[in-house]
Structure 1
Amino acid sequence: MANIIPPSFDHNLLCGRSPPRISFHHPEYTTDPPPASAPTLVTSAFNISSGQIFFLNNQSRGGNKSTRISSFSMISGLVWKCYCISQGLAPSTQARLMFNASIHKRLCPPLPKTYFGNAVIRKFATSKVSQITSNPVAAVAEIVQTAIDGITDDFIRSFIDYLEVMKGRILRPALDLKQSELRISSISRLPASDADFGWGAPQQLSMAEATGNNVVYVLDEPGNKRGYQVYVTLDPTLMPRFKKAFYQELLSEGTEKHDYFTLQSTGNRSRI
C-alpha cells in the first residue's frame, strides 16, 4: 500500500487568473447556435504505416530534420493537404485545422502526473490553401507542428481566462465547420486494441458512426502497434477526390498503397 499514489483532484490548478489576461485570439469556441439539420455524410478509413510516415517525412524534407515533426503532425499534414485538394478551394482561401492537445506537460509547472480531470485544449492551425496544396506533405506538417508547439503556458492561461470571462453565455466548441475547416483528433494511444473478452484480440477497431462533417479520427491499426487507421468523414460527393489525392501523395513518395473501407453515416460498412 505504501507505493500507491493517490490521484490529484486539485482543479484550482486550472483556475482563471484575477484579473483575467486574454493575450491570444481564441476562435475555438463560439456563441453561434448549432445547425438545424445534419448533412448526409460518409466515412472512409485509411490504413497508414509508420514506414509510410517515415518516407513522407524524410523524402519530402530532403533529409532536413532541423524541425521535429511528430507522427500526428505528419498524418495531419497529409490529411489536411488532401482535404484542401478535394474541396477545390481557392488558393487565397484561409484554411484552418482544429486539433486537440494535452496540456499536462505544457504548463509551468506541469500538472501532477496523478492529476485527475479534463486537461485537453483545442487549437487551430491556419494557412492559405496555396501553401498547403503546393507544398510537400512534410511542409504542411510543419505548419501543424508549429501550431502545436505554440501551446505554451501563456496560451493555455489565456485560453482559461477567456472561458472564465465567457462563463454564463451559451458557449460551445466551434465544431460546425466551414468548407475551409477540418477537425482532427487522435485517440491512437488508448489501449482499445488490447481489449480481450475471451475471443482474442480485436480484428477491427472503428468509429460506431459518422460524428460530424469534415472530421478526422486517428486510431491504432489493430494487430499493428506501429500502424494507424485514419477515419475521414466528408460529404459523399467529395470523398472520391479525397481518396485520389490521398493515394497520389503516398505513391508520389514511393510508399505502398493500402486498402480502405467506407463507413456510411448509417453505420453500415462495406469494403472497397
Structure 2
Amino acid sequence: MPGGDEMAMKKLDVEVKEPKLIVEVKEPQLVVPAESTPHLVYFLNNLDQNIAVSMRTVYFFMAREEKKHEDPAPVIKDALSKLLVHFYPMAGRLGISEDFKLQVDCQEQGAVFVEATANKCIAELGEISSPTPFMRELVYEFPNAKNILEVPPLIVQVTTFKCGGFSLSLHNNHCMMDGLSANEFLQAWGELARGVDITHPPHIDRSVLRSRDPPRVEFPHHEFDEIEDLSGGELLMGDSLVYKNFILTPDDLEAVKKAILEDGAIQKVSTFEALTALTWRARTQAMDMPLKQKTRLLFAVDGRSKFDPPLPEHFFGNGIVLTCAITTAAELTQQPLSYAVKLVQDAIAMINDDYMRSALDFYELTRSRPALVATLLVTTWLRLPFHTVDFGWGYPMSTSPACLPDREVILFTSCGKGRRSVKILLAMPSQESMEKLDNDLRCYGVQSSEAADSWLLREHPILRRNT
C-alpha cells in the first residue's frame, strides 16, 4: 500500500454542472478474507493471459427510506471480507512466473477498499449510464502504478452522495474474471451483504484449461495477425476520443434484421450478429479506410459449454475465447449488410473444443496478444444481469463502465422498458467521423441517445494499454 501524502484524504474536482462535483476520498484500507485461505501460487491459464487489462465499472444505487440511518460502506466492506474467503485469489497479488506468465501470489494480502463522499445528489450528475468525464472520479486509481503488476487485482470504492444514494465501483483486472464470473462474484457479494448464504460457490481451479503437452496449433489464429495500416497511421487515432450512445428499440432491431434478410443471402440473424455487423460496417465507412485496407472484427464467444467436456459449473475465471473475421474495407462497405453478418456467423461457428484448445496452445508457443490496428473489438453485456445485483438497497439504478478498456472497443448493453432495447457505446477519433457514423446508422433507423450528446474525453495516462 502507498504511504504518506498519497494515502491522505484528498479532493478531486471535475466539471459536471455548476457548481463542481467534489469527491472526498478517505484513506484506502486493505480488506482481507474473514477466514484463513490457502497460501499458494494461483494458476492463470492462457485465456486469462490474453486479456490482462484493467476494467473499471460503476454501479449507482438509490437511497431507501428504511436504510436512511445505515451507511452502505461498512456493510459492503464486511461482506467483501466474507466473499474473499470463497474468491481468495482476488485478495492476492499479480506476479510473473518463471516462464513469463501472469500468476497470482495468494497470501491474503487483501483487496483495496476506499470510502468517499460527494457533495452532490446522483440526480444532479446527469448521464450516469455511460462513461462520462466525472465517472473516473468514482473509481480509485492505485497511486504511481507503472504496470498491472503494481495494481492489486481488486480495488473497490464506495461513494455516498448527498441524497443518501451511493455508487460502488470496481477496478479489477480482466485476467481474474470475465463478465459471467464477475456477475457471479457480484451476486454472491450482494447475498452476503443481505445476510444470506452464497447460492453458487465458485469453482476456483483453472487447471482444466492448461495447454496441451506438447502444444498443438491446428487452426490459423488470425486474431493475432498484424494488419498493415495503409492509412499512414491515421487508423491509430489520437489521444482525444469522441464518445456517443446509440439506442435501438425492439422495433428498430426488428427493422435492422428485416433489412439484413431481404436479399435472401442468409436465413436468420440474431440480435448480436445484426448489431455487430451493422456497427463494424458503419464504423469502417465513417473512418474513411482505404478500400484495400484489411479490417478485422474481434469478439469473444463464451466457451464454457463448447469445451469437451464443458467447464465445471460456476467456473471462476475467463471462459471466453476470442474469434475474428477479416475482410477489406471495400468488401465490407460495398457488399450488402448480409455479407458482414455471414462473416460474424462463420466466426462464431468455428468455435469448438478443437479450436479453443488450439488457441490455448498458440499462446503457449508464441505469447502473442491480439493486435488491434484496423480492428473493432466488440464486447457485450446483453446477457449479463449486472442490473440485478442487490446489497440490501435494491437493484442498481444504473450500471456502466467508467471507461472503455481500449479505443477500439465498443460495448452493447440492454436498456429501456424491460431491458428490451439495446445501447451501443463507442468512440471515434473525431467529431467529424462520429457524425459520419451517426448518418450511416440513421439509414437503418438507429438513433443517437437524446439523454446524452456526444462528449469528448482526452485519454488519461492510466487508461493506456500498459494498465
Question: What is the TM-score normalised by the length of structure 2?
Answer: 0.48
| Alpha-carbon spacing, 1:200–1:88, altered in 2? closer, same or farther (3 Å) | same
CA contact (8 A) 2:246 2:447 kept: no
CA contact (8 A) 2:266 2:338 kept: no
Distance in 2, Cα, partners of 1:195 & 1:12: 29
CA contact (8 A) 2:204 2:315 kept: yes
Query: Residues 1-272 of structure 1 correspond to what in structure 2 (within 5 A)?
Result: 7-29=202-224, 39-62=239-262, 64=264, 67-166=267-366, 171-174=368-371, 177-178=372-373, 180-195=374-389, 198=393, 202=397, 204-236=398-430, 237-248=432-443, 250-251=444-445, 257=447, 259-260=449-450, 261-265=453-457
| Alpha-carbon spacing, 1:239–1:66, altered in 2? closer, same or farther (3 Å) | closer
SS of 2:419 mapped into structure 1: strand
| Alpha-carbon spacing, 1:15–1:231, altered in 2? closer, same or farther (3 Å) | same
Measure how far apart 1:80 and its partner are: 0.6
Superposed CA RMSD in Å reads 3.1
Q: Which has the larger radius of gyration?
A: 2
SS of 2:342 mapped into structure 1: helix
Distance in 2, Cα, partners of 1:129 & 1:52: 26
Higher relative contact order (CA 8 A, sep 6+): 1
CA contact (8 A) 1:41 1:210 kept: no
CA contact (8 A) 2:243 2:456 kept: yes
Gaps of 5+ in 1: 32-36, 268-272
Distance in 2, Cα, partners of 1:92 & 1:194: 45
| Alpha-carbon spacing, 1:192–1:23, altered in 2? closer, same or farther (3 Å) | same
- The aligned amino acid for 2:220 is H
| Alpha-carbon spacing, 1:55–1:139, altered in 2? closer, same or farther (3 Å) | farther
CA contact (8 A) 2:295 2:375 kept: yes
Distance in 2, Cα, partners of 1:5 & 1:56: 38
| Alpha-carbon spacing, 1:6–1:201, altered in 2? closer, same or farther (3 Å) | closer
1:127-166 per-position Cα deviation (integer Å, ceiling 9, x unaligned) = 2222221233333122112111111211100000112223
Measure how far apart 1:199 and its partner are: 7.9
Distance in 1, Cα, partners of 2:404 & 2:204: 34
Gaps of 5+ in 2: 1-198, 227-236, 460-467
CA contact (8 A) 1:39 1:213 kept: no
Aligned residues with identical type, % of pairs: 23
SS of 1:113 mapped into structure 2: coil
Bigger Cα displacement from structure 2, 131-140 vs 81-90: 131-140
1:112-133 per-position Cα deviation (integer Å, ceiling 9, x unaligned) = 2232221111222112222221
Distance in 2, Cα, partners of 1:138 & 1:57: 9
Question: What is the TM-score normalised by the length of structure 1?
Answer: 0.79
